Amino acid sequence: MSAIFPRPSKILAFTCGDPAGVGPRGALASLRAGALPAGVTPVLVGERSVWRRAGWRPSDGPIRDTGLVLSVPRPGRPTPAGGRLSAASFEEALSLIARGLAGGVVTAPISKTSWSQAGYPWRDHTARLADFAGKPDAQMVLGVPSRKLWCAIATRHVPLKEAARGLNARSIAACARTLAEALRALGVGKPRLALCALNPHAGEGGLIGTEERDLLVPLARRLKLEGPIPADSAWRLHAEGAYDGLVCLYHDQALIPLKVMGGLAGVNWTVGIPFVRTSPAHGTAYDAAAAGTLDASGAIEAARLASRLLA
């Protein structure tokens, strides 16, 4: 059963993410870059000590302190404390949404290792969001909004061999519907979608795998998708404007080309829940956090997209 949420407000909650990564500094950088338009107000969720270490100033917005009073881990690696701090920040942001005190959340990157070490029962943001909202079919859509690159993935954080085994018509169809819904929300009236093939050369008629022949070709016809198209060609055509989005079959089929073409400006957008959630598509970047460097383009794009969707 779907949860019932209050009328959305124009407040965006920003979680701190893993405090040993770049997330807290990225969130602050997005606010200072003017990512939020007039009328959208931020609230920074997480330990006050985490935000202060990231350089928080009162002009950045109020802090919703989670009150764990834990020592903030040093930058550079996953820890149980980092998992507890990031999970508490996320859960408090969801609490604000449930009470109508925020209309959406921009989540900073977390570490699945830290969450596991802390005993947090969810593997990733999307699984927790789907459960919280009562929307088991919620999906993540990935893109670089400034370059109009968009894709969705039929499988998420599973080993590659399990992704290939687990492909089925239901999950691919749900992925295609979600991507079309997302593009319509961005003003694309009739999204042109293509389905990526699983195997090289789209299987060569069964010589290099039979998934295209047995599953993907009939499914593409039924769903009225172009393809299945070899993924390398599909991404080239998408970048040239032939398609509005791609239905990808596994994690790296989407993320490698997206990051090659869009750098660190990629965004993860959860579609199918009754509130806004976006995030930078990159990870914690422990190496950059330890070195004190930051590329905030993903955080800026995530904040801009959330504001657009909240309007």
Confidence of residue 1 (pLDDT cuts 50, 70, 90): very low
Tell me the C-alpha distance between 215 and 153, whole Å: 16
What is the torsion angle, in degrees rounded to the nearest 10, for the CA atoms of residue 171, residue 149, residue 222 and residue 187? 110
For the residues 41-51, what does the mean pLDDT come to? Answer: 97
Q: Is the pLDDT of residue 185 over 50?
A: yes
Tell me the C-alpha distance between 203 and 208, whole Å: 4
State the DSSP string of 167-213: --HHHHHHHHHHHHHHHHHTT-SS--EEEEPSSGGGGGGGTT-SHII
Give the relative orientation of helices 297-310 and 23-32 as an angle to the nearest 10 degrees: 60
b/e map of 93-105 (b: 16 or more CB within 10 Å)?
bbebbbeeebbbb
- Which H helix or E strand runs over 20? none
pLDDT at 55: 97
Q: Which residue has the higher pLDDT, 11 or 159?
A: 11
DSSP state of 102: -
Confidence of residue 157 (pLDDT cuts 50, 70, 90): confident
pTM of the model: 0.91
121-125, 133-137, 238-242 — which one is most confidently predicted on average? 238-242
Q: Is the pLDDT of residue 7 over 70?
A: no
Q: According to CATH, what is the number of the domain 1-138+272-311?
A: 3.40.718.10
Tell me the C-alpha distance between 229 and 24, whole Å: 39
For the residues 34-42, what does the mean pLDDT come to? Answer: 94
Q: Where are the domains of the chain?
A: 1-138+272-311, 139-264
Assign a CATH topology to domain 139-264: Isopropylmalate Dehydrogenase (3.40.718)
Tell me the C-alpha distance between 197 and 137, whole Å: 23
Helix (H, G, I), strand (E, B) or coil at 113: helix
Judge whether 1-138+272-311 and 139-264 match in fold. Answer: yes
Lowest mean pLDDT among 104-118, 195-209, 243-257: 195-209
DSSP state of 285: -
For the residues 235-240, what does the mean pLDDT come to? Answer: 97
Q: Is the pLDDT of residue 250 over 80?
A: yes
Label the pairing between strands 63-64 and 149-153.
unpaired
Tell me the C-alpha distance between 124 and 90, whole Å: 11
Contact 88, 260 (CB under 8 A): no
Q: Which residue has the higher pLDDT, 28 or 310?
A: 28
Whether the ω angle into residue 136 lies within 30 degrees of 0, i.e. cis, is no
Label the pairing between strands 193-196 and 149-153.
unpaired
